[in-house]
Structure 1
Amino acid sequence: MFLGTYAPKLDDKGRVILPAKFRAELENGVVLARGQERCLYVFSTREFEELADKMRQAPVTGKQARDYMRLFLSGATSEVPDSQNRVTIPAALRAYAGLGKELTVIGVGNRAEIWDTQAWETYYAEQESAFADTTEEVIPGLF
């Protein structure tokens, strides 16, 4: 499970060192994909395969499902961490998420997300108040 917030740097070759707490889950491979709000999703290969299996069950006749799958899967890339636990983020994904040198990596349960630090701080500032003031169920059966 991915939890917490980390502040790694993007090196000149577009690589990021994975947070130590995520390494065991990601050592056999990661899949990077476009995420909502212009971040990148980071899945373990196993988790991504489970997600892809669910996506394959979507009806081909559903335009919204087709559109989503095209954008999501066409930008996804499979990577294997190197001996120093670095993963290369392809240029197209770096551009999509507007990544600079300063990154914020957050754990979101079944995935991690990579954000440009300034974008994360802006998002967090906009969302924190609504989070603190939530008075109705947001996640069915939990909160």
Structure 2
Amino acid sequence: MATLFLGTYAPRLDEKGRLILPAKYREAFAEGLVVTKGQERCLYVWPVEEFARVTEQLRAAPVTSKGARDYMRVFFAGASDEVPDRQGRITVPPALREYAGLTRDCVVIGANTRMEVWDAATWEAYLGEQEETFSSLSEEVLPGLA
């Protein structure tokens, strides 16, 4: 069964571009993880097993679809496989740090089967915009949940 990632954490990048993973989830990443570009200029962090599942889904996309090809090129070209060190840190490659605008203060959020890494200021701005529409979207995203 896949790990369910929940919560919000505020780690910092060190001078070497390393990020400390939330202690609660280090075991889920012990065998390795994949960091990829996500939507809205964040990074997705997948346990290797979950990344393999996502990869299988993407393989089902038709190669004749330009959108699918474009998405997969960006998704896989920017991906980096990492293994946390003994302190639970991973190195975020420079190109991914630049893509997500990561400098020092970060926010790591649980996002179901993955974690997301955001620049702290970018996350606060995004959250401020989204909280207004959150309740109105519940009926569209999860009908009958109210």
Question: TM-score, normalising length from structure 1?
Answer: 0.95
1:83-98 equivalence runs, <5 A: 83-98=86-101
Moved over 6 A (4+): none
Code of the residue aligned with 2:69 in structure 1: it is R
1:137 shift after superposition:
2.3
Q: C-alpha displacement at 1:22, in angstroms?
A: 1.1
Give the equivalent residue in structure 1 for 2:60. Answer: 57
CA RMSD of aligned residues (A): 1.4
The structure 2 residue matched to 1:100, chosen from 86, 99, 103, is 103
- Asked if 1:121 is matched to 2:133, the reply is no
Aligned mates of 2:121, 2:8 — CA distance in 1: 14
**Of 66, 69, 75, which residue of structure 2 is paired with 1:66?**
69
Task: Return closer, same or farther for 1:129/1:50 CA change in 2, 3 Å cut-off.
Answer: same
Partner of 1:16: 19
| Conserved? CA contact 2:20–2:87, under 8 Å | yes
1:26 and 2:29 matched: yes
What fraction of aligned residue pairs are identical, expressed as a percent?
56
The answer to whether the Cα contact below 8 Å between 2:9 and 2:22 also exists between their aligned partners in 1 is yes
Q: Distance in 2 between matches of 1:101 and 1:61?
A: 41
Which residues of structure 1 form unaligned runs of 5+? none
The alignment's TM-score, normalised by the length of structure 2, stands at: 0.93
The residue type equivalent to 1:45 in the other structure is V
